[in-house]
């Protein structure tokens, strides 16, 4: 079964450093998402991306964050100048469409620890 793959599975970074989290969505999907989950808390929506631009973002997704689809297969989340509170599991997801009956497929996550 096709799946969303994410790298790295775990990254430790110094506060203030830039981090890039990478995702390979399911190949025929057109919509891409990033979510995050702080330890012990709920899964939070960050951003959705379609046709090479952001279609929706949450209040969490501020100027510190950016997303990019640099080629035909990868989808990245960049966090500039990481803060301690950015420590979380980051999930990439993709879907074929955004219609209401559509299924969103999630990756296994990238665990980011900021020290």
In angstroms, rounded to a whole number, what is the distance separating the alpha carbons of residues 38 and 29?
A: 27
- Of 12-20, 59-67, 73-81, 94-102, the segment contacting another protein by CB under 8 A is 94-102
Evaluate whether 3 touches 24 at the Cβ level (below 8 Å): no
Q: Does residue 106 interact with another protein by CB under 8 A? A: yes
User: How open is the CA angle 53-58-62, to the nearest 5 degrees?
Assistant: 80
> C-alpha 85: how far from its chain's center?
16
Question: Of 76 and 98, which CB lies nearer to another protein in the complex structure?
Answer: 98
**Which residues in the 44-63 window bind another protein by CB under 8 A?**
44-45, 48, 56
Minimum CB separation of residue 6 from another protein in Å reads 8
Evaluate whether 74 touches 22 at the Cβ level (below 8 Å): yes
Q: Does residue 91 interact with another protein by CB under 8 A? A: yes
Residues in contact with another protein by CB under 8 A are 4, 33, 35, 42-45, 48, 56, 91, 93, 98-101, 103-109
């Amino acid at each position: 079964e096709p799946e969303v793959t994410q790298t790295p599975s775990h990254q430790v970074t110094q506060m203030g450093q830039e981090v890039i989290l990478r995702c390979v969505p399911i190949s025929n999907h057109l919509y891409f998402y990033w979510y995050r989950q702080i330890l012990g808390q709920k899964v939070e929506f960050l951003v959705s991306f379609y046709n090479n631009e952001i279609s929706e973002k949450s209040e969490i997704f501020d100027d510190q964050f950016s997303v990019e689809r640099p080629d035909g297969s990868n989808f990245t989340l960049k966090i500039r100048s990481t803060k301690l509170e950015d420590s979380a599991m980051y999930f990439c997801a993709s879907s074929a469409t955004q219609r209401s009956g559509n299924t969103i497929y999630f990756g296994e996550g990238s665990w980011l620890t900021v020290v």
